[in-house]
Structure 1
Amino acid sequence: MIPNGYLIFEDESFLDSTVAKMNALRKSGQFCDVRLQVCGHELMAHRAVLACCSPYLFEIFNSDLEPHGVSHVKFEDLDPEAVEILLNYAYTAQLKADKEMVKEVYSAAKRLKMERVKQICGEFLLSKMDSQNAISYRNFASSMGDTRLLAKIDCYIQEHLLEVSEQENFLKLPRLKLEVMLEDHVSLPGNGKLYSKVISWVQRSLWENGEPLESLMEEVQTLYYSADHKLLDGGLLEGQAEVFGAEDDHIQFVQKKPPRENVHRQLSSSSSGSLSPGSVRQPCKHDWKYIASEKITNSTYLCLAVLNGVLCVIFLHGRSSPQASPSATPCLQKSLSFEASPQEEEPERLLAPMHYARSGLGTAALNGQLIAAGWCNFEAWICFAAVETWLKKSCVNVEPVRKGKQCCGVFGQFPISPIWPCSFLLKKYCPFEMAVLMVCVCSLNNKLYVVGGSDPCGQKGLKNCDAFDPVTKEWTSCAPLNIRRHQAAVCELDGFMYVIGGAESWNCLNSAERYNPENNTWTLIAPMNVARRGAGVGIYAGKLFVVGGFDGSHALRCVEVYDPARNEWRMLGSMTSARSNAGVAVLDDFVFAVGGFDGNEFLNTMEAYNPGRDEWSTGAEASTLA
């Protein structure tokens, strides 16, 4: 058609043909006038094309003093394959990238200021997000400074926090453990208000004491929530703290340590001791953020938050009875009566104590008797070999087993030391070339499994899992653990092996995993409510009872039970004594905790748990041993 004397013709194939030819010229290096050097790789292109697609390169080319010469642009922090993908897009308007490359393409597009590509990559990541990768995606979006992508990922985490919390990358996040004690008839506020107070408390704690965030995570922090809605440091209960007001009428901060000198001067200049707005430089707002939380039980909360720019897990446990010791172990209210007023029994009515105080012992129920074997003196790191057995209320010595080198475990119904396979049971058949400390030992399908442990320095946890067949006298390497751990609890239940808690580099774990010998795989199960190492474990009514342990700061009294059918942990009544590295055995429908270390001394006492009453007692009438 020729309207008004003009010839108009549209060649629909011309554009596609032209861009294809231009891309072919680029790949062959013909007529190229710019060279991109990306981590040792050279990519040729035409500056006019790149300037149209990348504002970043446009700025560079526009400032070039020699516009007619060949330009060299160097990138040392981009992926060459990702840049090649962007070049193809610049010439063909087609973005093709394997899913493994999307993050790298996003990063390169951010550098080149190609906003449309960033958006497309972000939408692709969101479409592939699930509970397993949500944390890694969030870390990526945070490193890219993409607030839009972060907001959408945080919305997903808010809706799926429990599923996300079961994944390995969540379990590896830094963890802040808080125990909040409540006055009578006072309950914690709703999740949002609760964690805004907690985050403010962390901010002030770091500012007042001048310590890094890591120092708050080294031990359980005890706080106190008063009837007038003030969040206080638990040190106030012991009369060891000074109180300072805050701008927020509902928060009062208490510090145990004297403030830094310049802060002290500022506080001294105010007669009221309050912190006036603007008196100090506050942390950047974007570095502190509440993301999501879940109320796990009536008194237990789980939260994901950004603290001082670090993605962290906050585990919070509320307790009644502010008269209790701030260093007490997290537990539910139903066990508070035992903590506040331990039962006083006549000596003859108590469960008979052992002849020796023991920690790290092995225990077993055999022919209606409890057997305790070996123990460890951690101060001298010496292990002993005496064995005791209980008949009714009496406690007698029996022949000692051969000397062990580490804390004891149980093989079937017989106590053994995890290192005894090297020096006693298996002698020359042990495959380990170096000392391995604090391993887990368990019998499963007539084989001995040695799991985890640490290096000789006791610092680096191991993922190793090896099985010994006593018939063939051969070792077999099994699939490794998902998480490095030593001083974990281990047991067999319904043809599976469970490894629970423990520590990695002395950072206590609340994670647990299950081994399936049929397909040689480890699977993470729901995490415990309380991170612990050196816990005892027993099997009763098809469930796992995890007893005591150490949380990195205190020996624990709290007890949890795991239901495999529901993949769920539930807190039980607490023991009358804190016990780490105690022996645990089940006899006549009672769970017994024997010996251990209470944080001050090694114990020769024992106590029994009555599942029907959800109570622990040291009284002999509480069990069938009476």
Structure 2
Amino acid sequence: MIPNGYLLFEDESLLDSTVAKMNALRKSGQFCDVRLQVCGHELMAHRAVLACCSPYLFEIFNSDIEPHGVSHVTFDDLDPEAVEILLNYAYTAQLKADKELVKDVYTAAKRLKMERVKQICGNYLLSKMESHSAISFRNFSSCMGDGRMLSKIDIYIQEHLLEVSEQEDFFKLPRLKLEVMLEDSLSLPSNGKLYSKVLNWVQRRLWENGDQLDRLMEEVQTLYYSADHKLLDGALIIEEHGMFGVGAEEDHMQLVQKKPPRENSNTKRQPSSSTSGSSSPSGLASNTPKPCRREWKYIASEKTTNNTYLCLAVLDGVLCVIFLHGRNSPQSSPSATPCLMKSLSFEAQSEELEEHPLTSMHYARSGLGTATLHGRLIAAGGYNREECLRTVECYDPKEDLWTFTAPMRTARARFQMAVLMGQLYVMGGSNGHSDELSCGETYDPHTDTWAQVAELRTNRCNAGVCSLNNKLFVVGGSDPCGQKGLKNCDAFDPVTKTWNNCAPLNIKRHQAAVCELDGFMYVIGGAESWNCLNTVERYNPENNTWTLIAPMNVARRGAGVAVYNGKLLVVGGFDGSHALRCVEVYDPVRNTWRMLGSMTVARSNAGVAALGDVICAVGGFDGNNFLNTLEVYDPETDEWSDLLLIVFCDFLYVSGRDGNHFWRVA
């Protein structure tokens, strides 16, 4: 067109051609007048192009003493691949990065003040956030000082706190444990108001009393919720007001007694800076005075049980978990009532029937190890939201009673347990504070003691454990390097006390269900990275080979497995979105899977074992709560039940499944 006598022509192809040619010139080093030194890598570019895209580099180039020479800019803390991605973007307007590099690209874009790229990377990270990554994403956003991302992540955590609290990163956070004494007429306020009071109390302890945050977390802190709705130190109440006075029970007084004064406790601590600096060995805030305040923020909380709360908060710049329990009086241990399992048949005279829940474990446990030993169910370790456990409980089905045995030497969760030559074996796992474990131990039921065994060759948790041909096999898992899914398979010989490598799995797996059946080892489901699997592999020890067999109907990780009547029952687990109730069974003769009756509640990372003629599922996580409950599956009725049938009568005759025995009930 020639409007008003002027020639006007827009060549759209020229722009694309020019951009492509300039990028080619950059990559070949032609006409380049900028050298970026990035962690030992040299990247060439053109000053004019970079100055248009990066305000940070514009300021550097604008201040060059010799503007016509070659500019040298050094970055010792950026990823060379991320900077190369930004250079491609500067020349082509296309941002292309592998998902593993997005955080590094974000970091480089922040340094170069490329706000548009930073925002695009932030939006991508937010779109990929799930419960397992929320804590790491928040830590990253906090380090970057990105308030927009932090607010969106905090909203996500508020909506998914219970799911987030089941993840590994959550268990590595520092923990503050509080117990709040209440008068009979009082109850704790709503979550938000409650934790604003908690934050104020911690601030007073740090700034007025000179306490240190890491020392506050060393033991349970006892507080008192007064009638005027203030949260006070329990020791001060006793000392100054004699609040509990004469008649308080001895163990009650032990909880609220005044703690000994700490060194420099009279020195007021000044608020510390949000800038990075030295930290205490535990990763908590240093008590070195700083010129400005760190962040104090309540993020999210949930009431988990009656008068028990879980909270995620930022205390003095440190992301922390707060556990709070309110109580009116010292807890008493409930006495167990002998009951009879519903699966028993009975004949009674003048009977009255009443159903009661099966007795629960003393501790809620998820990611526990379970096995059957001498006709009893063993539940070891696991985590209960608050901590990883060492304790071991033993269930007697005849008495419907849980009792404690000797605790493990190491607190651990996310592990499996197997019986080998009459002893229990546990290997690896995580203790909630450090990386995956390599240590293992074995339990001798005759001496009620645990002893160490030779360490694994690879530190790992979420591995499968199985006894086969008088050896202990450890399969798959995840390692400290971040591999969520390993192919490793190792065998332990209890006679020579040595480990040997076996053929690797066909597919990387962690949180798989593993067990032995008819001389083969089965590895079922699990996850590769965070993608849940329905595939199943079978190991033949005769020729040291793995074979893929028929897949399950439902992809799942964190499921339990037990053997019944020559078949495999796979129970519960997690499908990537929800904890599962569903159960399916594998028939090795037909190489087929079919669905069975579902559990009464959803359970992921539960313990599953065969006990007599029933299958037991205990503990786990239902998507909202950590569980201490037990339920049993009767293959004859294809039903799960968490109930006992108690019969009150003058005389009761009960026929058990393992023979005819009679009890007289007075």
Shared fold (TM-score greater than 0.5)? yes
**Which residue does the alignment assign to 1:299?**
307
Change (3 A) 1:284 1:201: farther
Structure holding more helix per residue = 1
What is the letter of the counterpart of residue 16 of structure 1? D
Give yes or no for the alignment of 1:164 onto 2:164: yes
Q: Counterparts of 1:370 and 1:571 in 2: how far apart (Å)? A: 14
Give yes or no for the alignment of 1:468 onto 2:476: no
Change (3 A) 1:265 1:493: same
Q: Counterparts of 1:544 and 1:466 in 2: how far apart (Å)? A: 18
The question of whether the paired residues in 1 share the 8 Å contact of 2:377 and 2:611 is answered with no
Shift of 1:207: 2.8
**Which residue does the alignment assign to 2:230?**
230
TM-score after normalising by structure 2? 0.52
**Which residue does the alignment assign to 1:12?**
12
Shift of 1:566: 7.7
Q: Counterparts of 1:498-509 in structure 2 under 5 Å?
A: none
What is the letter of the counterpart of residue 194 of structure 2? L
The question of whether the paired residues in 2 share the 8 Å contact of 1:479 and 1:522 is answered with no
User: Quick one: which of 292, 296, 309 aligns to 1:288?
Assistant: 296
The question of whether the paired residues in 1 share the 8 Å contact of 2:134 and 2:157 is answered with yes
SS, match of residue 13 in structure 1: helix
What is the letter of the counterpart of residue 303 of structure 1? C
SS, match of residue 186 in structure 1: coil
Q: Counterparts of 2:201 and 2:20 in 1: how far apart (Å)? A: 60
Give yes or no for the alignment of 1:45 onto 2:45: yes
**Which residue does the alignment assign to 1:352?**
none
Change (3 A) 1:133 1:238: same
Q: Counterparts of 2:168 and 2:134 in 1: how far apart (Å)? A: 11
Change (3 A) 1:16 1:565: closer
Q: Counterparts of 1:52 and 1:255 in 2: how far apart (Å)? A: 64
**Which residue does the alignment assign to 2:476?**
479
Q: Counterparts of 2:451 and 2:157 in 1: how far apart (Å)? A: 31
What is the letter of the counterpart of residue 205 of structure 1? R
Q: Counterparts of 1:71 and 1:185 in 2: how far apart (Å)? A: 74
Q: Counterparts of 1:64 and 1:521 in 2: how far apart (Å)? A: 68
Q: Counterparts of 1:140 and 1:455 in 2: how far apart (Å)? A: 37
The question of whether the paired residues in 1 share the 8 Å contact of 2:467 and 2:516 is answered with no
Change (3 A) 1:538 1:150: farther
**RMSD between aligned residues:** 5.3
Change (3 A) 1:117 1:305: same
SS, match of residue 12 in structure 2: coil
**Which residue does the alignment assign to 1:26?**
26
* Consecutive unaligned residues in structure 2, runs of 5 or more: 244-255, 270-288, 336-370, 379-395, 400-407, 411-415, 427-437, 483-513, 524-556, 563-567, 580-608, 633-642, 647-662
The question of whether the paired residues in 2 share the 8 Å contact of 1:78 and 1:108 is answered with yes
Q: Counterparts of 1:12 and 1:61 in 2: how far apart (Å)? A: 31
**Which residue does the alignment assign to 1:315?**
323
The question of whether the paired residues in 1 share the 8 Å contact of 2:372 and 2:611 is answered with no
Change (3 A) 1:225 1:214: same
What is the letter of the counterpart of residue 468 of structure 1? S
SS, match of residue 69 in structure 2: coil
**Which residue does the alignment assign to 1:79?**
79
What is the letter of the counterpart of residue 155 of structure 1? I
Q: Counterparts of 1:520 and 1:124 in 2: how far apart (Å)? A: 36
Q: Residue deviations 1:546-575, cap 9 Å, x none?
A: xxxxxxxxxxxxxxxx37778844579xxx
Q: Counterparts of 2:49 and 2:313 in 1: how far apart (Å)? A: 44
Q: Counterparts of 1:473 and 1:415 in 2: how far apart (Å)? A: 11
Shift of 1:81: 0.8
Shift of 1:365: 9.2
Q: Counterparts of 1:395-406 in structure 2 under 5 Å?
A: none
The question of whether the paired residues in 1 share the 8 Å contact of 2:88 and 2:95 is answered with yes
**Which residue does the alignment assign to 2:58?**
58
Percent identity over paired residues: 58
The question of whether the paired residues in 2 share the 8 Å contact of 1:440 and 1:453 is answered with no
The question of whether the paired residues in 2 share the 8 Å contact of 1:225 and 1:232 is answered with yes
Change (3 A) 1:452 1:49: farther
Give yes or no for the alignment of 1:199 onto 2:199: yes
The question of whether the paired residues in 2 share the 8 Å contact of 1:482 and 1:522 is answered with no
Give yes or no for the alignment of 1:176 onto 2:173: no
Shift of 1:522: 12
**Which residue does the alignment assign to 2:221?**
221
Q: Counterparts of 1:326-345 in structure 2 under 5 Å?
A: 335=332
Q: Residue deviations 1:295-354, cap 9 Å, x none?
A: 112211111111121111111111112xx3xxxxxx6xxx5898xxxxxxxxxxxxxxxx
Aligned length: 422
Change (3 A) 1:105 1:521: farther
Q: Counterparts of 1:605-624 in structure 2 under 5 Å?
A: none
Change (3 A) 1:204 1:102: same
Shift of 1:366: 6.4
Q: Counterparts of 1:166 and 1:563 in 2: how far apart (Å)? A: 10
Change (3 A) 1:264 1:28: closer
Q: Counterparts of 1:496-535 in structure 2 under 5 Å?
A: 516=561
The question of whether the paired residues in 1 share the 8 Å contact of 2:417 and 2:465 is answered with no
Shift of 1:414: 10
**Which residue does the alignment assign to 2:92?**
92
The question of whether the paired residues in 2 share the 8 Å contact of 1:293 and 1:302 is answered with yes
Change (3 A) 1:130 1:370: closer
The question of whether the paired residues in 2 share the 8 Å contact of 1:467 and 1:477 is answered with yes
The question of whether the paired residues in 1 share the 8 Å contact of 2:209 and 2:266 is answered with no
SS, match of residue 472 in structure 2: strand
SS, match of residue 68 in structure 1: coil
Q: Counterparts of 1:141 and 1:96 in 2: how far apart (Å)? A: 21
The question of whether the paired residues in 2 share the 8 Å contact of 1:107 and 1:144 is answered with yes
Q: Counterparts of 1:567 and 1:493 in 2: how far apart (Å)? A: 28
SS, match of residue 318 in structure 1: strand
What is the letter of the counterpart of residue 467 of structure 1? C
* Consecutive unaligned residues in structure 1, runs of 5 or more: 244-252, 267-280, 325-330, 339-362, 372-388, 393-404, 420-434, 443-449, 485-491, 498-511, 527-536, 546-561, 573-583, 587-609, 614-622
The question of whether the paired residues in 2 share the 8 Å contact of 1:39 and 1:80 is answered with yes
Q: Residue deviations 1:575-614, cap 9 Å, x none?
A: xxxxxxxxx9x9xxxxxxxxxxxxxxxxxxxxxxx9899x
The question of whether the paired residues in 1 share the 8 Å contact of 2:309 and 2:324 is answered with yes
Q: Counterparts of 1:418-429 in structure 2 under 5 Å?
A: none
**Which residue does the alignment assign to 2:502?**
none
Q: Counterparts of 1:249-268 in structure 2 under 5 Å?
A: 256-258=259-261, 263=266
